Structure formats: structure tokens, C-alpha cells
Structure 1
Amino acid sequence: MEKVGYRSVIKYPFLKHMSPAEIHQDMITTLGEGAPSSATVNRWVTEFKRRRKSVTDEPRSGRPRTSTTDENIDLVLDMVMDDQQILTWVIAAQTGISYFRADHILRNEFEISKATRWVPRFVTHDQMRTRATLSQDNLSLMQQDPESFLARFATMDETWVH
């Protein structure tokens, strides 16, 4: 469960006037080892006593993003789509960002990996789920009759010429 979920679970019994110890014990009974610590429960009960309404984190101040901006991300994507063999240091030099930020944008924002050229990984979660289901089906078929399965299993695309 995420932090917001825990906080929501803490807030409901707080509104029913349960003590922090009772809330924590109830969460341990329900969630087991996944329950937050008593200190966390106490901290959030204190926050709700101070009339806090939101269970989400407050925005924090910090250094603003300067390199991984939407403009730089779009610029890097355009550069890679124009030339898939472009080097990371060339991207960094042309955009004016560091090598590490350019590499971060390529690998984390676009999930692109480098072989001899940048190759986007556009496999969706549905495609991964379908592949896993098909693999499990093939495994169960093979376990039922291994010899006939291997004789019938095609390992590459077949081209039919008529």
C-alpha cells in the first residue's frame, strides 16, 4: 500500500475518535507486517489533530529542474529520431546540458537503450502481459507432451509461398 493509502486508513479511525494505539493495533491486525510503525501513526494523528485535511504530501521547495525540462526532453527526442546513431556527448554539447543529464533523458524518460544505434523500447504493459500468458500456455503444453510439442512448435515466422 502506498503512503497516501496508509494515511487515509489512519484518518478514518481518527475521525471515529480512536486513539493512535488503537489505530496502530487495528492496522497490524489487518495489514500484518505491511502496517506502518506506531511512530508513523502517531505523527499522522497529530497532523489530523492540527486540522490537516489532505493525506497527500505538501509541495516542497527545492532546486528547480533546469536540465530535464520538457523543452530539453523534446529536443533530445527530435535529435535521436533524426539520427539514431548520434552519440550522447553530441546530444549534450548541442543542447547545452551535461552528459549525465542527456544519458538520463535517453534511458529514463524514453527508455531507449544503446546498441549501435538508439533503439526505443516501445513494448507496452499489455504486450508484456500477452507474452507472459502465451509463454505460460506454451510451457503447460510442453509439460503435457514434450515430444509432440517440440515437433509442432515454430520458432520463427514462416513464409508461405503458393
Structure 2
Amino acid sequence: MDGIIELESSPAHQNFLRYDIRVIIKFSVILGKDASCIHKDLVTVLGENALSIQTAKKWVKAVSEGRDDMRDEPRPGRPVTACGDANISIVLVSLSDDRRKTCEDISTETSMSRTSVFRVLTNKLNKKKFSKWVPHLLTDEQKESRAYFSRNFLRRFQTEQNDFLGRIITGDETWV
């Protein structure tokens, strides 16, 4: 399945599938554009979501050699299912009992591999391990608080310079 690239800065807020981008590349090749020119155009429209120059060159070469179908070709091997909805639910249930469980504990309990459990926790559930698994994303209130204290520290540093830095005590938040 082709992924969707969302353009936040685009005035039309359009979504581009990888397939769409490949068709644009095909059209540009027919117009006689080279890979670097096509890549430059894609970066202008898609910004940081544009494909790499190497990928653009690969598709320009494929189109130039006569490839008509812009869809992904089937890939060999077993599809990745470790981060599927079923496994996410299993990990959530296991974690709801005790948030201090390790990946190995959850792995033993659920019969999933440790790496799969870790992938689900960090990539899908956005959790980070301190002394217990906690959500990694900050709330708006936490972001505002950190911005407030950062501005305050910056103001104090500008007035007090090295005296201020000498009074800062740092520590690990997990014990607080």
C-alpha cells in the first residue's frame, strides 16, 4: 500500500501518494526533464517530504527504460505484523496491570518477541521507560511550562552570566 504524504504548508492541503509522485516523475521525464531538475521541483512542492535525489534518479531511470506501472511491486517475505492492532491491544492490556514491567516481562507474558514489544511501546504507543512506562509526548500545559522556565533561565543567564550557571543543579527526573 502506498503511503500518503500530507502537506501542511500547501495552500490546498493536498495529500500525495507515493504513486502520485511517481506519476509526476513519469510526466516530467516525458517532458524531457532530468532527475536533478525533477527532484528540485519535488522539493519546491513537497519540502522536507520530498523523496531523496537517489530515489528520484532510480524512478527516472526506470521510466526511461520503459517502466509504465508506477505501483509498488510485490515484495517477497512475510508482512510485518508485530505492530498490528491486535499486538498493540495485547501490550496495552499487559501494561495496564503494571507499568513497571520490562519488555522481557511483557514478552514472556504475551509470547511476542522483546523487539516487537519494544517497537509497539516506543513507536506505536509513544511510551518511554523511566522507572515505569510513561507517555513520551508532552501535554500542552507541560510544553508551556517548559517554555516559560526556559525563557526565565535565558533572561537570568543574560543578566547574571556565569554566576547563574554555577548555581544550576541538574538531576535525573526519575527519582523526583
TM range (shorter): 0.5 to 0.7
In the superposition, the TM-score normalised over structure 2's length comes to: 0.52
- Out of 58, 73, 77, which is 1:40 matched to? 58
1:24 match: 35
- Say yes or no: does 1:51 pair with 2:62: no
- Say yes or no: does 1:101 pair with 2:116: yes
- Say yes or no: does 1:110 pair with 2:128: no
Q: How large is the Cα RMSD of the aligned pairs?
A: 4.1
Deviation at 1:67, TM superposition (A): 3.7
Other structure's SS at 1:10 match: helix
Q: Which runs of 5+ in 1 are unaligned?
A: 151-162
2:103 match: 88
2:168 match: none
Q: C-alpha offsets along residues 14-61 of structure 1, whole Å, 9 cap, x if unaligned?
A: 34x42xxx4236447767xx64489525423236x3432x3x533423
Other structure's SS at 1:77 match: helix
Highest Rg: 1 or 2? 1
Change (3 A) 1:51 1:102: closer
Q: Is the 8 A contact 1:24 1:37 kept in 2?
A: no
- Paired residues for 1:5-16 under 5 Å: 7-15=22-30
1:155 match: none
Q: Percent same amino acid at aligned positions? A: 25
Name which of structure 1's ranges 112-121 and 4-13 shifts more when overlaid on structure 2.
4-13
Q: Is the 8 A contact 2:26 2:60 kept in 1?
A: no
- Count the aligned residue pairs: 137
Q: Is the 8 A contact 2:35 2:57 kept in 1?
A: no
Q: Is the 8 A contact 2:107 2:114 kept in 1?
A: yes
